Structure 1
């Protein structure tokens, strides 16, 4: 088996003592640098915090079936872009392993998993749900922006199997003007996760297409600070 390459990434460093981390995953065809630039363009500044490092990894290029096998920066393969088909678990699980090494680097830097949040936009949000709910449920939270899971996703069973045990809280936003039926799929994802036992909120944003908005990023920032508050030991750093 080939050794997995270290994921490329860029990061926005904390301005004070590093006591928490956010891993923000891009959508299909994008890169970590591209997502950071998009966030900065929408907010007119970086998504930055006094104590939280924000990490933007880049998915390695892989053949992507919906693009007839052309190489693309995608977190996993899809048999087709549909909520009704099976998940490509081989590629999903492989990427969960690689992203787990990013999380482990933060642990080695002194940040426990319960002081981490993982999330993403579009495919990145779906990837984050697999990563958090199936492999690292001890993280503080997971966010999914304009994202959905397949109707038979193994994530639902993983959440259900953890009833009575700690699970990350989910922050979910989706534009109501998103193309095709993506908003519907995203809303159904939230319903199924809540039914399985997850604390999940779903926010519909009128007029928003498949894109980021200042409103959702500001709400995301507030939610991150609620889940990863500045620790008293870090005050004044």
Structure 2
């Protein structure tokens, strides 16, 4: 049985003002939460997301088939990593995906238990982290404020519609998807195919393609993510968070 054994607690960036919202941002394969700490610090320096607490979790080191079975930080196993949809759809690690899904649902619930309304929580990530964010976000049994997926794709796409709980809490939740047009790891065609599938199922997804960007993030993209977060998690000032929703 697949068990998610976390070696470290997430990196936390407390809100610099009254805490009224939370962003959980998930790294990709082979990375750690520290890989996105600089981005969060840059957003914080701009003082536009002062009421937002950021959570950057660390994936456990697990054997990755496409890495010859060697262990590396990952949210689920990947058998083939050549960028195309067919390869990523074959032999998907459903057990690992579902265990990570449960972990992110737990992180969301902890924020709710701490007093943050689910509509003031955004789940997002890069590559594998973005993929698990789409999956975990759309299958959550609370309505989230938004979902961010950078250089990502839809997990378990062949059976996704059957895995979403009924009623669907996040049918209208805004999903910001972004992809580089030169991505050799997760081809932009896969991002577009995932976007089309989500739109076909009636989800509120948008997709932006960035010219000449590979499997990485660019300043324009990060500015767009910041703008999305500001739109979904506007500052409430001294008003009561619950009364504003």
**Scaled by the length of structure 1, what TM-score is found?**
0.87
SS at match of 1:94: helix
Alignment partner, residue 102 of structure 1: 107
SS at match of 2:184: coil
SS at match of 1:135: coil
| Aligned-residue RMSD, C-alpha | 2.8
Which stretches of structure 1, 4 residues or more, deviate above 6 A after TM superposition? 41-44
Alignment partner, residue 145 of structure 2: 140
SS at match of 2:89: coil
1:175 aligns with 2:176: no
CA 1:92/1:151 → structure 2, altered by over 3 Å: closer, same or farther? closer
Q: Which moved further from structure 2: 208-217 or 73-82?
A: 73-82
SS at match of 1:75: coil
Q: Structure 2 CA distance, aligned partners of 1:177 and 1:7? A: 34
1:154-193 aligned at under 5 Å gives the runs 154-158=159-163, 166-179=171-184, 182-193=187-198
Alignment partner, residue 61 of structure 2: 61
1:43 CA displacement: 6.8
Alignment partner, residue 129 of structure 2: 124
Alignment partner, residue 72 of structure 1: 72
**Scaled by the length of structure 2, what TM-score is found?**
0.84
1:7 CA displacement: 5.2
Give unmatched runs, 5+ long, in structure 2: 82-86, 241-245
Alignment partner, residue 15 of structure 1: 16
Alignment partner, residue 31 of structure 1: 32
Q: Structure 1 CA distance, aligned partners of 2:141 and 2:168? A: 15
Q: Structure 1 CA distance, aligned partners of 2:169 and 2:121? A: 21
1:202-221 aligned at under 5 Å gives the runs 202-221=207-226
SS at match of 2:49: coil
Equivalent pair of 1:133/1:167 in contact (CA under 8 Å): no
1:119 CA displacement: 0.6
Q: Which moved further from structure 2: 59-68 or 93-102?
A: 93-102
CA 1:105/1:165 → structure 2, altered by over 3 Å: closer, same or farther? closer
Q: Deviations over 1:28-49 (max 9, x none)?
A: 0000012223x26987958972
